[in-house]
Amino acid sequence: MQRSYEVMFIVRPDMEEADVDKLIAGLEQTITHGGGSVKSTEKLGRRKLSYMVRKFSDGNYVLLVIQAEGGLVAEVERRLRVTEPVIKFITVRMDEEEKRAEKIKAIRATRKKLSAQPAAAAPEAETAPAATEAAASA
């Protein structure tokens, strides 16, 4: 079963742009030959790391959004692990996150509807006592 994943990896800052592009192309080729698909590729640029990783204090971030099976993701992670220029990576399964986000949106929508109903009923309740006072004084 194909699932949605985000693969974020950090490449050494001293790597040339062309070499980073070759690395990304190799990973995309691995994914497509394995039966998966690459939804998007985003180079986020050079950023400072919060702590030293392999004697580097900054790195080039790359984000891949892919559709693949678990075995293929394990192969991509293995390749990232043995590729020397990649200093850090993480893979997140996004279909669970998307389900969780949809559930939260649905809960918020029902709360919004419930909070809107008493507010609409409140003006009617305010007019009712005024009408009874007017009837009582007459």
Structure tokens belonging to residue 137: 């004084």
Alpha-carbon distances of 52 from 2, 47, 57, 59, rounded to whole Å: 35, 12, 5, 10
pLDDT band at 133 (very low <50, low <70, confident <90, very high): low
What total of structural domains would you count in the chain? 1
Contacts of 85 (CB under 8 A, 6+ apart): 11, 12, 15, 19, 20, 23
Tell me: the pLDDT tens digits for 35-89? 999 999 999 999 999 999 889 999 999 999 999 998 999 999 999 999 999 999 9
Beta bridge partners of 60: 11, 46
Which CATH number does the domain housing residue 19 bear? Answer: 3.30.70.60
Domain range for 12: 1-138
Backbone dihedral angles phi then psi of residue 30, each to the nearest 5 degrees: -60, -45
Tell me: the pLDDT tens digits for 4-29? 999 999 999 999 999 999 999 999 99
Type of residue numbered 73: V
Q: How many Å apart are CA 108 and CA 111, to the nearest integer?
A: 5
The pLDDT of residue 75 is 94
Q: Is 112 in a helix, a strand, or coil?
A: helix
